[in-house]
Amino acid sequence: MKTKISATRPMKMPVQARSILTNEAIFEATIQVLLNLGASGLTTTKVADRAGVSVGTLYQYFPNKQALLSALLKRHLEYVVACVEQACVSARGRSTDIMAASVVDAFIDAKFERPEFSRVLYSVAAELGGQSIVAAMMQRTQLALCDLLASHHDSRFGDLKVVSFVMATSVVGPVQALLTAEVSLNMQDAIRLQLRKMIVAYLQSVSSQAAMGQA
């Protein structure tokens, strides 16, 4: 239990713990700066100041500004995708209505947990580093949707790759518009219901009975 390690790292745990702590402080600082000044006002120096470290230290944790923002975007999108994946699991084997509502609601709810944060991340997502992260997350979402659709007892939905692509991508536009356009709460709810309707209608229009053959 002594602290007599000389030239190596003091102890294994503390070093990692401090490292994780600093990492988290930098993330949190980035979020704050992003919310206060927007993506265009974000500066590595401002982030470092807010996190209580020097710029040099920030660059030990992230190779450059884009990597920092990409990591933040990735963390956010991984959370959102995880929510959608969970909804997919929960709705396995249920009706198309429930499938559609679960997925739509999970996505909207995840994005609206911190609307301003979701909103400001769109500019990060549109940059080079962001686009590949978005693509990867979209891929994961489509996989989860394929699983979900395949679990339906009575129906086949045609080419699941295509159907899940359309399902996944068609909800992002409306939600982005909702987040950036500041529409009324009534309108928000109305649109959520309409989105469910749209996905249900789509699924039913591409579905065929699984029992015998298909139309």
Partner DNA sequence: ACCTGAACACCGTTCAAGT
Q: Which residues bind DNA (CB under 7 A)?
A: 7-9, 15, 18, 22, 42-45, 53-57, 59-60, 63-66
* C-beta of 43 vs 204, nearer to DNA: 43
Residue 184 binds which entry of a copy of itself, DNA, none, CB below 5-8 Å type-dependent:
none
Burial class (CB in 10 A: 0-12, 13-18, 19+), 135: exposed
Interface with a copy of itself, residue 63, by CB under 8 A = no
Of 11, 15, 177, 210, the one binding a copy of itself (CB under 8 A) is 177
3-class secondary structure, 54:
coil
Contact criterion met (CB below 8 Å) for 121 and 74: no
Minimum distance of a copy of itself from residue 169's CB (angstroms): 4
Residue 122 binds which entry of DNA, a copy of itself, none, CB below 5-8 Å type-dependent:
a copy of itself
* Residues 27, 14: Cα–Cα separation, whole Å: 20
For 64-99, give the DSSP string.
SHHHHHHHHHHHHHHHHHHHHHHHHHHTTTS-HHHH
Residue 44 binds which entry of a copy of itself, DNA, none, CB below 5-8 Å type-dependent:
DNA
Q: Which of 126, 95, 121, 97 is nearest to 110 (CA)?
A: 121
3-class secondary structure, 208:
strand
Interface with a copy of itself, residue 36, by CB under 8 A = no
Please report, as ranges, the residues that interact with a copy of itself according to CB under 8 A.
38-40, 122-123, 125-128, 131, 134-135, 138, 159, 161-163, 165-166, 169-174, 176-177, 180-181, 187, 190-191, 194-195, 197-198, 200-202, 204-206
